[in-house]
Structure 1
């Protein structure tokens, strides 16, 4: 009986040690995630510099044209601005917050100007290759946000869907709102596909 009692005591002691260790780990995790983080002054200074440079760059772009810069480079530039803005969103430093809001306003301005131009440039870049395949490409809408393809090859719905898979990434990045496939002049000779992309002013 004494041996059994001793074994039970050892088991209970072992359980308490495990419970203690688990509690210590939980407390450590809580402290790590909820305790105030030290301010990294160097990181904040770098972020502030990046924001100010981006704002200055946008100001230059708003004053001048892109001077024949290719479509991919222009689109990448807008994406890098968005990435910087998103990174700055989690920073609570007052100076960074102020610059971030200025950047947001400038980005909306330059995006509203640029994206209709980018969509036009995309269509122009595809015309020659598509004409060889007997496919016409065009634009519609107030802000060039509707992309149209015309050709008999688009009559089967499967062809439309396969074509959509190939171009979806770029048409979403360029913020098209609708793709229209037309294969005849009959009332039912076309089909629309809505694109849930961002508005031109949306960050």
Structure 2
């Protein structure tokens, strides 16, 4: 009688082991088995990429856009968002399209961002003039922004001003902001801006 109980208990233990192994195998299969390819999603992705490439090609052919700065920045951000969305795709066709998209984006960004920075400075001259503040852009890539005015002598004023303009100067990819408060060479403060380069996506 006692022998039968021990045998049943031993068999029950093996049954539990077999069941646990089956569950573990099922979980492993679920997570590691190749997922079915969603061809419709890949086709949609390729269509979006091709449409964006065509859009960028039109912009490259037409020269600089006459749209306002905010609209152009938004357009560039939407390009970047699409690129980020398709960046992880393993599909060969998507990869090839993505490489073309990247090249086109770098071309249009390298051409447009210096123009956008210059347009930003021009748009602020009229607003800042009555406050006795001059604004200028310089540098080979038009990525140095300079403000001149007695108001900028206190560091507190410079930092407050920087806080107000930080988002737009980062979006426009300025690399440096300079504050001058007199004609003396030493009356200058430089702030380096941690923004993307024009050829960075």
Normalising by the residue count of structure 1, what TM-score does the alignment of the two structures yield?
Answer: 0.84
1:41 and 1:129, CA in 2 relative to 1: closer, same or farther beyond 3 A? same
Q: CA deviation at 1:168?
A: 0.7
1:32 and 1:178, CA in 2 relative to 1: closer, same or farther beyond 3 A? farther
Larger-gyration structure (1/2): 2
2:186 corresponds, among 185, 188, 193, to: 188
Q: CA deviation at 1:187?
A: 2.5
Other-structure match for 1:152:
150
Other-structure match for 2:51:
53
**Which consecutive aligned stretches of 4+ in structure 1 deviate over 4 angstroms post-superposition?**
30-35
Other-structure match for 1:109:
107
Unaligned runs of 5+ in 1: 1-15
Normalising by the residue count of structure 2, what TM-score does the alignment of the two structures yield?
Answer: 0.84
Unaligned runs of 5+ in 2: 1-15
Task: Report the Cα distance in structure 2 between the residues aligned to 1:144 and 1:201, rounded to whole angstroms.
Answer: 14
Other-structure match for 1:92:
90
SS in 2 for 1:37: coil
Q: CA RMSD in A?
A: 2.4
Task: Report the Cα distance in structure 2 between the residues aligned to 1:138 and 1:72, rounded to whole angstroms.
Answer: 20
Matched length: 185
Task: Report the Cα distance in structure 1 between the residues aligned to 2:117 and 2:32, rounded to whole angstroms.
Answer: 45
Other-structure match for 1:169:
167
CA contact (8 A) 2:64 2:112 kept: no
